[in-house]
Structure 1
Amino acid sequence: MSTILGLAARSAWNRRHNLVLMVIAIALSTAMLLGVERLRHQIRQGFSQSISGTDLVVGARGSPTQLMLYTVFRLGSATNNMSWNSAQRLASHPLVAWTIPMSLGDSHRGFPVLATTTDYFRHYQYGDRQPLRIADGRPGLDGIFDTVLGAEVARRLGYRLGDKIVLGHGSGLEAMGDDLKHADKPFVVTGILAPTGTPVDRTVHIGLAGMEAIHLDWQAGVPIPGMAIPAELVKKFDLTPKTVTGVLVGLKLRSRAFAVQSQIAEDQKEPLMAVLPGVALDELWDTVGMIEKGLLLMSWMVVAVGLAGLMSSILAALGERRRELAILRAMGARPRDVLMLLVAEGVCLMLVGTIAGYLLLSGVSFLAAGWLASTFGMALPVVWPQASELPVLAAIIAAGALASLWPAFRAYRLSLSDGMTPHL
């Protein structure tokens, strides 16, 4: 058997150029599969960890999914707001450690505007309880017309510290018209946040007082005719908000989350609801999880194409190797030996290609780490194959063995005389 294996090794060396091309194809397919698989997990993890360290999200009674969409992802608009008095009562609750009031509704060149307090930069966390970091400037909203930009807003619009920006009333296309812009009260960029890979990157942050200031001379969504309050006079007015979109709540004891949730739901002064972020995000992911399934299907289709190429290459080379196989038979190799030899060749090709694919993905992940982090706020980690990836890698190698069975079975049926006198 060792002689047969030696001859098979020499045969592989003579066909090394074709085999190298096959290994490259398998490596690319494997790297694609592992890359998409890791990207899928990163997207899901980023989705579920868009907000962390927050125990409850409180808003006007309605749909929990909608509340999460506009407080966490800045999508849609609130049908009802909660009163500022309720937000203040919530902040003074004996079980509450901190609160972050949030008010949405305006936008800037397609990016949502979030009005909040400086506590937002102290307590807001994402991912594995990572705090917000400032890349440039200061993380605060001390001035009425101060604004702190998310990383993507600053990058795409080219803003720097000290630049002035004008907010639009409303969101989307409705905020594009000149009549619906707060041009008389521009905001000054005082800080730019570091990338987070969350909706924070696409958000323009202003203070609650700033949100009230730009709407002093507005009513029912339009400017009041004949009334214009200059920016330098807004301090003469009461800039305390009347309502907010929602409140993020951190508790002193996380074990009391259900108790506080129940108390909020039973509040007689205003109909409110409190949502557990983790539960709501999991339910929301189940709704939009078709993205994950689509990525998974695409990655397996890539592997299927690679396996089809492996099978076709072995079948194409089989005709040229009929004489070689006949010589092996003449030297004493049994048909079963020929079958196992070709299957082993396919498995070895898949094994080498899989290892090469993992190394290729690791190299690309290492080299592109900075670009992925700055552009998309995520990275493909350079790690050893994870426990969840081992079945995938084993399935690729097993699929390669199965793909080799058909050409191996054809070789098994070749007779000695057919190999010595091949048909032209």
Structure 2
Amino acid sequence: MIFRLAFGSLLARSLTVTMTILAIALSVMLFVGVEKVRTGAKASFSDTISGTDLIVGARSGSVQLLLYSVFRIGNATNNLTWESYQDIAARDDVDWIVPISLGDSHRQFRVMGTTTEFFDRYKYRSEQSLTVQDGAIMNDLFDATIGADVAETLGYSIGDPIVVAHGLASFAEHEDQPFRVSGILAKTGTPVDRTVIVSLEAIEAIHVDWQSGAQIPGQSTPADVIREMDLHPQAVTAALVGVKSRLKVFGLQRAINEYPQEPLLAILPGVALQELWQIVGIAETALIAVSGMVIVTAMIGMMATIFSSLSERRREMAIFRAMGARPRVILSLLVLEAALMAALGALLGLVLLYLGLWITQPLIDSAFGLWLPIDAPSMREFWVLVGVVGAGVIVSMFPAIRAYRLSLADGMMVRI
């Protein structure tokens, strides 16, 4: 009986009720959407590099090594000598190793020297490999493979020339040894998108006529002569390492950290990524707090709507009382109406969210490299929905108690 009365009352006030349900739905969609984005961003962040067991560089801090080797942020305190790199590569427990050389830039994008094996070994988002969207991976000394963001921002296409600058914020450029865009990588949502990738030998080649950070005056070695030189590097910035057995990871890490020839550091990428997320992840708390305040605002709005409707419904309440309805029936009616509005708003918000995810998921992935999975609501999200309904019941108690106290004589009074 009371359910039928509640439905009838809601239908009688359809416009106001619809607006209230829509406000709750939008707030729920925002809150759960922020939760989806948060978990998706954290997963994408953790999957920036996968399939790599260790990252090796000069001894510093684990977060610093991760920042400059993976995210291209900052600089190394020192380099890893080529002799030490070869010693590590020759170990029986090392399955593969890929060198990385950093230091130069191109119009604020980092230039990275490496080998073609990097394109096979670097994995992201649960073992996905890099793919070439246009052209091919560099196969000449002065070829460059660029990330998707580099190509889009600078408007580059296959065959365009690239002049590398010496250092990160330097006006000195290697104009005598320009590169050519040989390939453009597909969007990954990782720092690779913002990287110009060349060979290790190319990094050595453009510095043949340079000394102490400046070009030797009057010296310019022809490209044909440079191609005949021994361009093996003297040092690299870092190295990505894969082991033959995961059981040997910690043993190899300890051996590298205790390497007697020079101070080195080997880090587990997953552990370092978690440390870095703890530093930058405070933003997620702010997002949750803001979206939570939106839900609180919607609940207060619903309470205000119920309060404002009481003046219009005083005669209705009085008639119920005159027909023998107990005061608790009036209270239960208003609470049930609020619970129904909150439940309908929560369900509608969830439907709108998943509809939005279904439409925007490929667009967000291609534009930002952020993968938002469309999966069933987690227990955290489920309890958010339950909490919304519970909050609706709680805020409705205040106007319900007031209606409970309305007297029959006051309700039947005719005001002029």
| TM-score (ref. length: structure 2) | 0.96
Partner residue in 1 for 2:193: 201
1:250 Cα deviation (Å)? 0.3
Paired position in structure 1 for 2:164: 167
Which residue number corresponds to residue 23 of structure 1?
Answer: 21
**Offset of residue 103 of structure 1:** 0.9
More divergent stretch after superposition (6-15 vs 77-86): 6-15
Q: Which residue in the other structure is 1:235 paired with?
A: 227
Partners of 1:323 and 1:422 within 8 A in 2: no
Paired with 2:26 and 2:410, the residues of 1 have a C-alpha distance of 37
In the alignment, what sits opposite 1:251?
Answer: 243
Task: Name the counterpart of 2:31.
Answer: 33
Contact 1:107–1:170, Cα closer than 8 Å, also in 2: yes
- Distance (whole Å) between structure 1 residues aligned to residue 302 and residue 71 of structure 2: 44
Q: What is the CA distance between 1:332 and its match in structure 2? A: 2.2
2:377 maps to amino acid: P
Query: What is the SS of the residue equivalent to 1:368?
Result: helix
CA contact (8 A) 1:217 1:224 kept: yes
CA–CA distance in 2 between the matches of 1:222 and 1:423?
92
Q: Which amino acid counterpart does residue 371 of structure 2 have in structure 1?
A: A
Are 1:156 and 2:156 matched, yes or no? Answer: no
Partner deviation per Cα, 1:97-134 (whole Å, 9 max, x = no partner): 10111111111122111111111101111121222222
User: Aligned residue for 2:139?
Assistant: 142
Whether the 8 Å CA contact 2:160–2:181 is kept in 1: the answer is: yes
Q: Residue 40 of structure 1 aligns to a residue in which SS?
A: helix
CA displacement, residues 175-224 of structure 1 (integer Å, 9 cap, x when unaligned): 3x3xx112222211112212222111111111111111111111222222
Distance 1:111 1:325 in 2: 70
Amino acid at match of 2:155: G
Which residue of the other structure, out of 348, 353, 375, is the alignment partner of 1:383? 375
> How far apart are the structure 2 equivalents of 1:104 and 1:116?
9
1:228 offset after TM fit, Å?
Answer: 1.7
Whole-angstrom distance in 2 between the partners of 1:403 and 1:165: 63
Matched residue SS, 2:411: helix
The amino acid across from 1:27 in the alignment is A
Cα 1:423/1:145, change in 2 over 3 Å = farther
Paired position in structure 2 for 1:130: 128
Letter in 1 for 2:349: G
* Corresponding residue of 1:357: 349
- Distance in 1 (CA, whole Å) between partners of 2:104 and 2:232 is 18
Note the 1:66-77 alignment, pairs <5 A. Answer: 66-77=64-75
Contact 1:141 1:147 (8 Å CA) reproduced: yes
Q: Answer yes or no: is 1:306 the counterpart of 2:298.
A: yes
Q: Deviations over 1:324-354 (max 9, x none)?
A: 1121222222111111211111111111111
Preserved contact between residue 365 and residue 379 of structure 1 (Cα < 8 Å)? no
Residue 325 (str. 1) matches residue 317 (str. 2): yes
1:315 to 295, 301, 307: 307
SS of the counterpart of 1:11? helix
Deviation at 1:422, TM superposition (A): 6.2
CA distance in 2, matches of 1:167, 1:327: 84
Matched residue, 1:60: 58
2:183 corresponds to which residue?
191
Distance change in 2, residues 1:160/1:422 (3 Å): farther
What is the letter of the counterpart of residue 61 of structure 2? S
CA drift of 1:315 comes to 1.4
Deviation at 1:170, TM superposition (A): 1.4
Aligned counterparts of 1:189 and 1:156: Cα–Cα separation in 2: 14
Task: Compute the RMSD of aligned alpha carbons.
Answer: 1.6
Q: Is the 8 A contact 2:130 2:186 kept in 1?
A: yes
Query: Relative to 1, partners in 2 of residues 1:30 and 1:301: Cα closer, same or farther, differing over 3 Å?
Result: same
C-alpha distance in 1 between matches for 2:133 and 2:325 = 69
1:239 aligns to what SS in structure 2?
A: coil
Aligned counterpart, 2:279: 287
Is 1:215 matched with 2:217?
no
Question: What secondary structure, in the 3-state scheme, does the structure 2 residue paired with 1:388 have?
Answer: helix
- Decide whether the 8 Å contact of 2:44 with 2:371 is kept in 1: no
Moved more, 254-263 or 328-337: 328-337
CA distance in 1, matches of 2:371, 2:178: 36
In structure 1, stretches of 5+ residues that fail to align are none
Is the contact between residue 37 and residue 299 of structure 1 (CA under 8 Å) also seen in structure 2? no
Q: CA deviation at 1:405?
A: 1.6
Equivalents in 2 of 1:413, 1:231: separation in Å?
94
Question: Does residue 264 of structure 2 align to residue 278 of structure 1?
Answer: no
The CA deviation at 1:382 is 2.6
Q: How far apart are 1:272 and its partner, in Å?
A: 0.8
Following superposition, the deviation at residue 287 of structure 1 comes to 1.5
Q: What is the aligned counterpart of 1:120 among 109, 118, 136?
A: 118
Measure the CA separation in 1 of the matches of 2:26 and 2:141. 54
Paired position in structure 1 for 2:329: 337
Is 1:10–2:2 an aligned residue pair? no
Q: Identity over aligned residues, as a percent? A: 47
- Counterpart of 1:135 in 2: which secondary structure? strand
From 40, 43, 47, the counterpart of 1:42 = 40
Structure 1 residue 147: Cα displacement: 1.2
Deviation at 1:423, TM superposition (A): 5.7
